[in-house]
């Protein structure tokens, strides 16, 4: 069993020592832990070899936030960049034999250094195994290697964020057009049902033809479908990044809301506004990119 009182006293001593270690040395992230207790083995190695270090205990400094977002629940142990290679060697001396079947053994030397350089992307176990692989291969990893690997990783993350698909909202125009045509077919079959995203324009036309002709005729279905088909045309040009298509669709669908407000169809009104928000959001995303 671990003597918790002794360990707790050790951590208090660590924090007292940290106050004295305020030199101009450049400290870099060496390893991350989920709790302060997990740093004990590494701190023991550093103290034994009189290697200065710093602890960034974000779990204590952001206790309220960490209860909501686990990414803050980390303890970061930092060492001087000039001690990086020395500390690695000390850890390797204490390392046990590792299983050569681990997938990290398939990584190139450069990729293994990336694992060490970017601890946020890897677990503590993967970090430890990567360090052991470096030792087994006899690689010499310097602070400059770490810096370059982190710069490269930051550039990759930046490029990948640009490549993420942006919702442009034009799909709504196709949905509106098709559902409006379906509404016309449903009314023609005297079914008491309609899609709330469908156009009020087409429903007005449907009602006019039904009243004038005493029922639905093929001509009425075609004219109503042609009006609904305007939104399918708008979808086609919006997909081609034509700004006028977005603006025309937003105006026409916005005016369509007035029909449902006049008829006090609040359910259709709400869904129309919902669709308008997403179309507008997509249009603004497109303009930004």
pLDDT tens-digit map of 50-60: 899 888 765 44
Helix axes 40-48, 84-94, angle to 10 degrees: 110
Q: Which tens digits make up the pLDDT trace of 122-177?
A: 776 777 778 778 877 888 777 788 888 888 877 776 655 454 444 678 888 998 98
Residue 88 covered by a domain: no
What is the distance between the alpha carbons of residues 41 and 129, in angstroms, rounded to a whole number? 16
pLDDT at 71: 42
64 and 112 housed in the same domain: no
Residue 223 covered by a domain: yes
pLDDT at 46: 87
Residue 89 covered by a domain: no
Q: Is 31 exposed, middle or buried (0-12, 13-18, 19+ CB in 10 A)?
A: buried
37 and 75 housed in the same domain: yes
pLDDT at 58: 54
Tell how far CA 74 is from the center of its chain. 20
Residue 90 covered by a domain: no
What is the distance between the alpha carbons of residues 230 and 241, in angstroms, rounded to a whole number? 17
- Are 228 and 221 in contact by the 8 Å Cβ rule? The answer is no
72 and 12 housed in the same domain: yes
Q: Which tens digits make up the pLDDT trace of 185-197?
A: 887 776 667 788 8
- The tally of domains found in the chain comes to 3
pLDDT at 233: 92
With tokens 């450069």, the residue in question is 110
220 and 236 housed in the same domain: yes
269 and 249 housed in the same domain: yes
284 and 176 housed in the same domain: yes
12: phi then psi, degrees, rounded to nearest 5:
-65, -40
222 and 139 housed in the same domain: no
For the whole model, what pTM was predicted? 0.43
128 and 179 housed in the same domain: no
117 and 205 housed in the same domain: no
pLDDT at 224: 81
> What is the side-by-side strand order in the sheet with 27-33?
27-33, 75-80, 53-57
Residue 186 covered by a domain: yes
58 and 123 housed in the same domain: no
Q: What is the mean pLDDT of each successive set of 10 residues along the chain, which is 289 residues long?
A: 45 49 68 74 84 72 40 71 83 62 79 80 75 80 80 71 58 89 79 77 77 66 84 88 88 89 87 88 77
Of 146, 164, 182, which residue is a domain's last?
A: 164
Q: Residue 15 gets which letter from DSSP?
A: H
Residue 206 covered by a domain: yes
18 and 108 housed in the same domain: no
pLDDT at 93: 66
pLDDT at 107: 84
Residue 142 covered by a domain: yes
Range(s) of the domain holding residue 191: 171-288
pLDDT at 61: 45
pLDDT at 91: 72
- Are 88 and 72 in contact by the 8 Å Cβ rule? The answer is no
With tokens 């671990």, the residue in question is 2
């Amino acid at each position: 069993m671990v003597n918790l009182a002794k360990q707790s006293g050790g951590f208090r001593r660590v924090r007292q020592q940290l106050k004295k270690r305020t030199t101009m040395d450049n400290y870099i992230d060496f390893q991350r832990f989920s709790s302060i207790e997990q740093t004990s083995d590494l701190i023991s190695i550093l103290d034994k070899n009189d290697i200065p270090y710093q602890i960034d205990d974000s779990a204590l400094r952001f206790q309220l936030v960490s209860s909501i977002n686990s990414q803050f629940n980390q303890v970061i142990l930092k060492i001087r960049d000039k001690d990086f290679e020395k500390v690695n060697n000390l850890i390797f001396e204490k390392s046990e034999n590792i299983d050569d079947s681990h997938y990290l053994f398939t990584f190139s030397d450069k990729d293994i250094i990336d694992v060490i350089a970017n601890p946020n992307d890897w677990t503590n176990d993967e970090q430890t195994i990567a360090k052991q692989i470096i030792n087994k291969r006899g690689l010499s990893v310097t602070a400059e290697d770490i810096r370059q690997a982190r710069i490269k990783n930051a550039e990759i993350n930046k490029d990948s964020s640009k490549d993420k698909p942006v919702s442009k909202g034009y799909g709504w125009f196709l949905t509106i057009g098709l559902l409006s045509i379906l509404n016309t077919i449903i009314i023609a079959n005297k079914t008491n049902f309609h899609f709330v995203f469908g156009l009020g324009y087409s429903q007005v036309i449907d009602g006019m033809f039904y009243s004038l002709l005493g029922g639905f005729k093929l001509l009425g279905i075609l004219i109503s479908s042609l009006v609904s088909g305007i939104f399918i045309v708008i979808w086609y040009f919006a997909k081609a990044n034509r700004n006028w298509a977005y603006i025309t669709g937003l105006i026409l669908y916005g005016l369509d809301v007035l029909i449902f407000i006049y008829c006090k169809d609040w359910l259709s009104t709400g869904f129309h506004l919902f669709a308008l928000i997403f179309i507008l959001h997509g249009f603004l995303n497109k303009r930004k990119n």
